[in-house]
């Protein structure tokens, strides 16, 4: 028995390595998320998927006999579980029935199986390290393969049942994509709904074509996410954008990037307004950017001053308003930002969020700032994030279009207009980059 560990960016890549090295008969023993090997102890590496797989080899060692005895003992325990459940259902159905009828005892059922699997792995390692000879008993080899497969399927079924999804119900290609989506941070219920709808629609003669299935799922994702296409000019109409959001997401730098893009790429007249009177350093930073770009800037501290500044910039094609970071849990700060922008209908308020923010916090921030209301979202710090599923979770929950993405600190280089293709590629890695 040969046992190896394989790592890859996603399930498809890792399974391809398994198949290439161990062949199509390889048995998957376990899967887990790990960090890559960058930095001390891999703490700063990107998350990867690690698959432990085994291939049966001819071996007549004593360890092989001990392994067979252990497996037979384990099969006896599985048989007792079948007898306790009654009837003769299949292994997956047995597990499902037992979980439904004995939810409180689920842990006691899974724990012994985990122990058995750990014991089996240790014995399999011994077999892999010993000299390999011809197995005298071919039936024993086949029995080992069947028992390992049964164990794997039972553990997968238990885990999937806990998530509300029975893996046996999905074709292999959709299962791989489901696991990739969840691994990348897409909420399980959204991922499940997506693959189940795909299963209903994908033609039966295409379900085994992974490339076709992946593109099909990608197109469904593109129907979910909305984008603005960037700042779209309107003849004889001034565009005013106010950026709001929590502290530390990079609003001031994003304003500078947007202003630079409009000025240099689209040749539009730009003006800047800042109401960030709490952080003097941020005001000075934006003044420096304005001086470099040669655009006018003014600092305001009240609603009346804001209206006056907008009136003074009547010749500008685009005005950007930079606001100070506000904590969504600070009622006073939220009241101030609502008073400043809520009734200014000509201002398109854009929520600025960091791609590194955890999913639950993104939801809380959006609900509080959504009282303004909001017209679009900018996601910053994509270069610092490794999971992009939360962007789609946000798009599904709030249906706010995404206007821009930022990928670093450089002005204006690290800014890109959000497109559906780019967002889906972040989640499914279609380009392979």
pLDDT in tens, 306-324: 999 999 999 999 999 998 7
Average pLDDT value for residue range 212-224:
94
Q: Which residue do the tokens 């799922």 mark?
A: 217
Mean of the pLDDT values across residues 15-31?
76
Tell me the mean pLDDT in the region 403-413: 91
The more confident residue out of 413 and 87 is 413
pLDDT tens string 148-166: 665 655 555 445 544 444 4
Please report, for the chain, how many H helices and E strands are present, in that order.
15, 11
pLDDT-derived band at 26, boundaries 50, 70, 90: confident
The top-scoring range by mean pLDDT among 53-62, 89-98, 128-137, 420-429 is 420-429
Dist. CA 3–CA 55, nearest whole Å: 7
pLDDT at 169: 74
Query: Which of 95 and 76 is assigned the larger pLDDT?
Result: 76
What average pLDDT does range 137-155 have in this prediction? 60
Mean of pLDDT values over 106-115: 50
CATH of domain 239-428: 3.40.50.300
Which pLDDT belongs to residue 116?
55
| CA atoms of 165 and 160, how far apart (whole Å) | 5
Q: What is the token pair recorded at 207?
A: 């379900």
In tens, the pLDDT along 367-387 reads 988 888 899 999 999 999 989
Quick one: which H or E segment has residue 410? none
Least confident of 28-42, 211-225, 227-241, 296-310: 28-42
Q: 39 to each of 32, 46, 373, 384, how far by Cα in Å? A: 20, 10, 42, 15
Q: How confident is the model at residue 102 (pLDDT cuts 50, 70, 90)?
A: very low
* pLDDT of amino acid 233: 77
pLDDT confidence bin for 118, thresholds 50/70/90: low
- 48 in Cβ contact with 34 (< 8 Å): yes
Write the pLDDT tens digit of every residue in 277-304: 566 566 888 888 899 999 999 999 888 9
For residues 215 and 192, give the distance between their C-alpha atoms in angstroms, rounded to a whole number.
Answer: 17
Amino acid 21: pLDDT: 84
Mean pLDDT, residues 16-35 taken together: 75
In whole angstroms, give the CA distance from residue 122 to residue 70: 12
* Average pLDDT over all residues of the chain: 77
Report yes or no on whether pTM surpasses 0.85: no
In the chain, the percentage of residues whose pLDDT exceeds 90 is: 40
Of the candidates 209, 125, 138, 219, which has an alpha carbon nearest to the alpha carbon of residue 171?
Answer: 209
Looking at per-residue confidence, does 163 or 218 come out higher? Answer: 218
For residue range 162-214, list pLDDT tens digits in order. 444 444 478 889 999 999 999 999 999 999 999 999 999 999 899 999 999 99
**Model pLDDT, residue 85:** 47
Indicate the domain borders of the chain: 2-168, 170-224, 239-428
46-60, 223-237, 335-349, 398-412, range with greatest mean pLDDT: 398-412
pLDDT in tens, 58-92: 444 454 455 445 545 555 555 555 455 454 444 44
């Amino acid at each position: 028995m040969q046992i190896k560990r394989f790592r890859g960016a996603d399930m498809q890549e890792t399974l391809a390595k398994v198949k290439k090295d161990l062949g199509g008969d390889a048995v998957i023993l376990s899967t887990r998320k790990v960090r890559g090997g960058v930095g001390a102890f891999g703490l700063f590496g990107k998350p990867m998927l690690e698959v432990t797989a085994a291939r049966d080899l001819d071996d007549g060692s004593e360890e092989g006999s001990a392994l067979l005895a252990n497996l037979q003992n384990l099969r006896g325990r599985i048989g007792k579980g079948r007898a306790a459940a009654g009837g003769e259902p299949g292994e997956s159905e047995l597990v499902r029935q037992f979980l439904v009828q004995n939810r409180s005892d689920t842990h006691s059922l899974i724990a012994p199986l985990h122990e058995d699997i750990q014991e089996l792995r240790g014995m399999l390692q011994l077999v892999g390290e010993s000299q390999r000879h011809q197995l005298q008993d071919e039936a024993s080899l086949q029995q080992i393969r069947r028992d390992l497969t049964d164990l794997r399927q039972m553990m997968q079924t238990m885990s999937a049942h806990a998530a509300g999804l029975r893996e046996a119900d999905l074709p292999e290609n959709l299962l791989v994509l489901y696991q990739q989506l969840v691994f990348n941070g897409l909420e399980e219920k959204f991922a499940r709904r997506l693959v189940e709808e795909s299963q209903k629609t994908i033609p039966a003669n295409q379900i085994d074509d992974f490339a076709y299935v992946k593109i099909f799922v990608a197109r469904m994702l593109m129907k979910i996410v909305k984008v603005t296409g960037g700042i779209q000019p309107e003849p004889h109409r001034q565009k005013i954008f106010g950026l709001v959001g929590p502290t530390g997401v990079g609003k001031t730098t994003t304003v500078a990037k947007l202003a630079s893009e409009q000025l240099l790429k689209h040749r539009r007249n730009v003006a800047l307004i800042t109401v960030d009177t709490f952080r003097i350093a941020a005001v000075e930073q934006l003044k420096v950017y304005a001086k470099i770009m040669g655009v006018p800037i003014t600092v305001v501290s009240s609603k009346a001053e804001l209206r006056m500044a907008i009136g003074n910039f009547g010749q500008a094609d685009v005005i950007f308003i930079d606001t100070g970071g506000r904590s969504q849990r600070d009622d006073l700060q939220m009241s101030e930002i609502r008073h400043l922008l809520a009734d200014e209908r000509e201002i398109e308020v854009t929520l600025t969020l960091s791609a590194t923010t955890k999913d639950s916090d993104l939801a809380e921030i959006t609900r509080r700032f959504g009282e303004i209301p909001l017209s679009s979202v900018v996601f910053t710090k994509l270069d610092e994030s490794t999971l992009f599923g939360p962007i789609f979770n946000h798009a599904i929950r709030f249906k706010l279009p995404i206007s821009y993405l930022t990928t670093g600190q450089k002005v204006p280089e690290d800014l890109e207009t959000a497109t559906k293709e780019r967002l889906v590629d972040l989640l499914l890695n279609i380009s392979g980059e």
